[in-house]
């Protein structure tokens, strides 16, 4: 079985504390899936100048990496993260670093084409290559899941187009539950027969299952004792670890909710121990 993860790994900078940590969603997915026994293989790019915190993290947690073209002249991507007094996290000022002008190598394309399960965090640097391979049919042999985040890099039309190559879609919806845009996005998932999960935080989630009308599912609200940073990544990881094994949607949703709730207790996107290991 080949569980491949594809996306931007970056350095998370917390200006309030000065901490600079390995981060971005696909790295958080890799950590959780490794801890959950899914043995993921990560395909990403790092800058040679400042990659050490990330390479140390990967080695410490024994996360398999596609080494071809992993290190590139330049600097890693980077984001700024602010957490307010309620624990709500705000991510801003993404700097692409070595992801500027990103193109896959032949070895990387072969890795993606051979995957049985492929999970992608579809941020701006990755979109063009994802669409190119989708049109080519490179994902035909894989169960493809995509984290669209909060649709920062998509409008309704581009979202619907990308869904043609996606089996499971995750969207962190920040608008109102009764927003007509959400209804249209759900309709796009129905039209492409994509399993789509719109996470709504403590408001629950909107589940769009092929062959069934969209339905709102409740989640148990929990107090945020850490931060909301990483909750979506934990939900997705715990969901996928279960869904890849048995295709049991109800069980996968329960596991995803558990992961999301756990993440509210961490001050960073991962438990403190994840960053300390091997130091």
Instruction: Name the more confident of 115 and 278.
Output: 115
* Confidence at residue 142, expressed as pLDDT on a 0 to 100 scale: 97
Query: What is the C-alpha separation between 127 and 109, in angstroms, rounded?
Result: 14
Write out the H or E segment, with its range, that includes residue 172. strand 168-172
Residues in the chain: 279
How many beta carbons lie within 10 A of that of residue 260, not counting itself? 26
Query: What is the C-alpha separation between 137 and 156, in angstroms, rounded?
Result: 23
Query: What is the C-alpha separation between 212 and 208, in angstroms, rounded?
Result: 7
Per-residue pLDDT tens for 231-272? 999 999 999 999 999 999 999 999 999 999 999 999 999 999
Q: Collapse the DSSP code of 145 into the 3-class scheme (helix H, G, I; strand E, B; otherwise coil) and give the result.
A: strand
Going by DSSP bridges, is the β-strand pair 71-72/3-6 parallel, antiparallel, or unpaired?
unpaired
**Are 267 and 88 within 8 A, CB to CB?**
no
Q: Which residues pair with 205 in a beta bridge?
A: 199, 217
Which of 196, 133, 125, 128 lies closest to 165 in space, CA to CA? 133
Which of 205, 200, 127, 198 lies closest to 165 in space, CA to CA? 127
Res. 159: pLDDT tops 60: yes
Instruction: Give helix 106-113 / helix 124-136 axis angle, nearest 10°.
Output: 70
Q: How far is CA 195 from CA 8, 188, 213, 216, 260, in A?
A: 24, 11, 11, 14, 19
User: Given pLDDT bands bounded at 50, 70 and 90, which one contains residue 279?
Assistant: low
| Average pLDDT of the residues in 22-39 | 98
How many beta carbons lie within 10 A of that of residue 69, not counting itself? 16
Question: What is the model's pTM?
Answer: 0.96
User: Given pLDDT bands bounded at 50, 70 and 90, which one contains residue 220?
Assistant: confident
Res. 2: pLDDT tops 90: yes
Per-residue pLDDT tens for 61-105? 999 999 999 999 999 999 999 999 888 888 999 999 999 999 999
């Amino acid at each position: 079985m080949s569980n491949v993860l594809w996306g931007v790994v970056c350095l998370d900078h917390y200006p309030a504390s000065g901490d600079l940590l390995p981060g971005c969603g696909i790295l958080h997915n890799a950590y959780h899936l490794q801890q959950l026994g899914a043995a993921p293989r990560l395909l990403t790019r790092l800058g040679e100048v400042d990659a050490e915190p990330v390479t140390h993290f990967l080695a410490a947690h024994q996360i398999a990496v596609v080494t071809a073209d992993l290190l590139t002249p330049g600097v890693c991507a980077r984001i700024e993260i602010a957490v307010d007094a309620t624990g709500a996290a705000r991510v801003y000022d993404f700097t692409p670093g070595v992801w500027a002008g990103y193109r896959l190598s032949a070895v990387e394309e072969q890795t993606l084409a051979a995957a049985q399960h492929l999970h992608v965090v579809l941020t701006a640097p990755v979109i063009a290559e994802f669409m190119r391979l989708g049109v080519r049919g490179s994902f035909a042999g894989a169960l493809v899941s995509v984290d669209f985040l909060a649709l920062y890099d998509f409008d309704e039309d581009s979202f619907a187009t990308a869904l043609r190559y996606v089996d499971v879609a995750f969207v962190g919806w920040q608008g109102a539950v009764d927003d007509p845009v959400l209804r249209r996005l759900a309709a796009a998932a129905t039209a492409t027969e994509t399993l789509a999960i719109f996470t709504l935080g403590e408001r629950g989630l909107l589940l769009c299952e092929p062959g069934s009308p969209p339905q709102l599912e409740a989640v148990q609200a929990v107090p945020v004792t850490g931060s909301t940073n990483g909750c979506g990544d934990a939900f997705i990881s715990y969901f996928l670890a279960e869904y890849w094994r048995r295709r049991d949607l109800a069980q996968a949703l329960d596991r995803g909710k558990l992961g999301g709730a756990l993440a509210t207790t961490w001050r960073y996107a991962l438990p403190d121990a994840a960053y300390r290991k091997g130091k």
